[in-house]
């Protein structure tokens, strides 16, 4: 156990600092800090060892297969990191004159156009910094649009019960009331349920397609027609865009607004919780409301490309103080350039890997099947899935008492990150698996074999998992009851 706050031997910073230019400054007497922050006093080697040790107790895609459904944990190409650490990215000021930012703005402009094209939208802003932030931004644009056309009575947003929690949370932050509609038995959109709630108070419907069950909604265009006929807007949650790029797009499905997760589809590394990036695209009727500023291209006096900022005429203003997560935009640019016109292949391989993994898990050999206590049920009965799929682990629980969570924890012992657990809520004992396109057949075969082996293991071994991790199962209830949210330092 390395304790950061036990380091107390270093005099001054762990790196050599220059002296101040001048000590001829004043701090008003009432504002002078009386006691220093009790930060550690450590040398650089101590800090390097501390964080290196911490890294060995963390698990990234680099550590092993990471089938965390809905999160699209694909490999993060390292050239992208090299690019964003260049001074021409890392040391830019957001408020610098446009003449200082031409290269960045060229990348912004190309990304705006690429994302517009891929999603079938008319205008893109790169400002939102996370998927949920994009949802919030788009719902604000829709809200201002409705106010502008005299329809501010539209105060309800419809979401299916399979939606990501961020959808209702984002709409609620804009002041909308949420109407949740149940899904059909097979996990699909229930158009009758939609017809029953849609009306002149409908502001929008928020849909993920492929849905959180990993299945393509065959009646998505019909759903859009129903909502549009009532005067509502269709919002596309782009969390699962990795499944369909180049095959279809939200514009074709009838959506008016969409967010993209650059940290999923376009490989911005997620860094243990973020940064992400959640640009949004909209159809032309919503474009005037987008956050300011956007990048516009023209030519300078010598006929060379020139980029400028411009503010949409009825802009909602800012949702982040600067230009969003520019570094994520640049990484995503580098990622998309690797595929270019062949981005479709990315989706094909993601879908191939998901279907193959599902096939391997659901169709064990007779020998293997004979040893298994019980088989999971498909979360959604369908021939093919898109980039992810769900498993209902109830039969295992019924047969042995082993829960979905137990299986997830046991997978950690095998060196895998656990799948997404108990989401979507409409699938009992749900595990949601998404292998992504960057896993090899060998890696998927191995995972499937190991997964099936766990289903054959002694239930006690699985229920008490994990066994081979840096710590054993962590008591989350104790943490919530005791709320030790910082180091006690010398009060210990």
Site for another protein in 195-254 (CB under 8 A): 215-216, 218, 220-221, 244-249, 252-253
CB nearer to another protein: pick between 102 and 394: 102
Q: Is 470 in the site for another protein (CB under 8 A)?
A: yes
Give the footprint of another protein on residues 309-348 (CB under 8 A). Answer: 316-328, 330, 333-334, 336-344, 348
Q: How far apart are CA 104 and CA 362, in angstroms?
A: 47
Q: Is 487 in the site for another protein (CB under 8 A)?
A: yes
Residue 293 DSSP symbol: P
Q: Is 359 in the site for another protein (CB under 8 A)?
A: yes
Could you tell me the sign of the dihedral formed by the alpha carbons of 276, 177, 161, 349, in that order? negative
Residues in CB range of 58: below 8 A, 6 or more apart: 272
Give the footprint of another protein on residues 373-392 (CB under 8 A). Answer: 382-384, 386
CB nearer to another protein: pick between 220 and 402: 220
Q: Is 369 in the site for another protein (CB under 8 A)?
A: no
CB nearer to another protein: pick between 103 and 371: 103
Tell which phi-psi region holds residue 231, choosing left (phi > 0), alpha (psi between -120 and 50) or beta: left
Q: Report, in Å, the least distance between residue 80 CB and another protein.
A: 9
Q: Is 362 in the site for another protein (CB under 8 A)?
A: no
Among 199, 231, 275, 459, indicate the residue that binds another protein (CB under 8 A). Answer: 275
Q: How far apart are CA 226 and CA 20, in angstroms?
A: 66
Q: Please name which of 119, 85, 89 lies closest in space to residue 106, comparing C-alpha atoms.
A: 89
Stretch that binds another protein, among 26-34, 281-289, 427-435, 455-463 (CB under 8 A): 26-34
Pairing of strands 257-260, 280-282: antiparallel
Q: Report, in Å, the least distance between residue 136 CB and another protein.
A: 6
Whether the CB-CB separation of 279 and 128 falls below 8 Å is answered with yes
Which residues are paired to 245 by β-bridges? 248
Q: Is 104 in the site for another protein (CB under 8 A)?
A: yes
Q: How far apart are CA 81 and CA 69, in angstroms?
A: 24
Q: At what angle do helices 441-456 and 343-362 cross, to 10 degrees?
A: 30
CB nearer to another protein: pick between 337 and 398: 337
Residues in CB range of 358: below 8 A, 6 or more apart: 378, 385, 389, 433
Stretch that binds another protein, among 191-199, 366-374, 448-456, 470-478 (CB under 8 A): 470-478
Among 199, 231, 274, 428, indicate the residue that binds another protein (CB under 8 A). Answer: 274
Among 94, 196, 229, 296, indicate the residue that binds another protein (CB under 8 A). Answer: 94
Q: Is 152 in the site for another protein (CB under 8 A)?
A: no
Q: How many Cα atoms within 13 Å fall on the side-chain side of residue 215?
A: 21
Q: Report, in Å, the least distance between residue 175 CB and another protein.
A: 4
Which residues are paired to 124 by β-bridges? 281
Give the footprint of another protein on residues 109-128 (CB under 8 A). Answer: 114, 117-118
């Amino acid at each position: 156990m390395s304790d950061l706050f036990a380091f107390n031997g270093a005099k001054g910073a762990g790196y050599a600092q220059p002296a101040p230019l001048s000590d001829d400054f004043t701090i008003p007497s009432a504002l002078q800090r009386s006691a220093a922050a009790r930060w550690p006093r450590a040398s650089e080697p101590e800090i390097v060892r501390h964080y290196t040790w911490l890294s060995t107790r963390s698990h990234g895609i680099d550590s092993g297969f990471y089938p965390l459904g809905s999160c699209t944990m694909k490999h993060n190409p390292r050239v992208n990191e090299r690019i964003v650490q260049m001074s021409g990215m890392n040391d830019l000021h957001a408020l610098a004159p446009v003449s200082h930012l031409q290269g960045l703005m060229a990348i912004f402009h190309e990304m705006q156009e690429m994302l517009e094209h891929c999603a079938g939208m008319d205008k893109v802003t790169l400002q939102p910094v996370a998927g949920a932030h994009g949802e919030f931004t788009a719902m604000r644009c829709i809200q201002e649009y409705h106010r502008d056309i005299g329809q501010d009575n539209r105060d309800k947003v419809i979401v299916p019960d399979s939606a990501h929690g961020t959808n209702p949370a984002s709409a609620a932050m804009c002041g909308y009331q949420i109407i949740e509609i149940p899904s059909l038995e097979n996990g699909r959109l229930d158009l009758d349920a939609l017809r029953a709630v849609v009306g002149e108070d409908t502001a929008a419907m928020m849909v993920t397609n492929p849905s959180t069950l990993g299945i393509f909604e065959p009646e998505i265009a019909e759903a859009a027609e129903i909502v549009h006929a009532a005067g509502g807007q269709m919002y596309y949650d782009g969390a699962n865009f990795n499944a369909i790029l180049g095959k279809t797009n939200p514009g074709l499905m009838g959506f008016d607004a969409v967010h993209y997760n650059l940290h999923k589809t376009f490989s911005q590394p997620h860094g243990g919780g973020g940064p992400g990036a959640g640009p949004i695209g909209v159809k032309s009727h919503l474009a005037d409301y987008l956050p300011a500023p956007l990048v516009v291209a023209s030519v300078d006096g010598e006929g060379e490309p020139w980029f400028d900022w411009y503010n949409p005429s009825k802009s909602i203003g800012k949702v982040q103080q600067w230009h969003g997560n520019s570094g994520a935009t640049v990484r995503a640019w580098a990622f998309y350039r690797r595929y270019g016109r062949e981005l479709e292949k990315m989706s094909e391989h993601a879908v191939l890997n998901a279907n193959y993994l599902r096939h391997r898990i659901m169709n064990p050999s007779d020998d293997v099947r004979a040893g298994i206590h019980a088989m999971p049920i498909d979360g959604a009965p369908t021939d093919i899935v898109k980039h992810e799929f769900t498993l209902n682990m109830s039969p295992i629980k019924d047969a042995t008492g082993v829960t979905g969570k137990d299986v997830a924890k046991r997978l950690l012992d095998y060196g895998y990150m656990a799948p997404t657990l108990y989401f979507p809520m409409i699938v009992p004992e749900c595990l949601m698996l998404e292998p992504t396109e960057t896993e090899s057949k060998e890696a998927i075969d191995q995972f499937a074999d190991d997964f099936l082996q766990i289903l054959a293991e002694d239930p006690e071994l699985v229920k008490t998992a994990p066994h081979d991790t840096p710590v054993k199962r962590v008591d989350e209830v104790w943490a919530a009851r005791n709320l030790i949210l910082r180091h006690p330092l010398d009060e210990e």
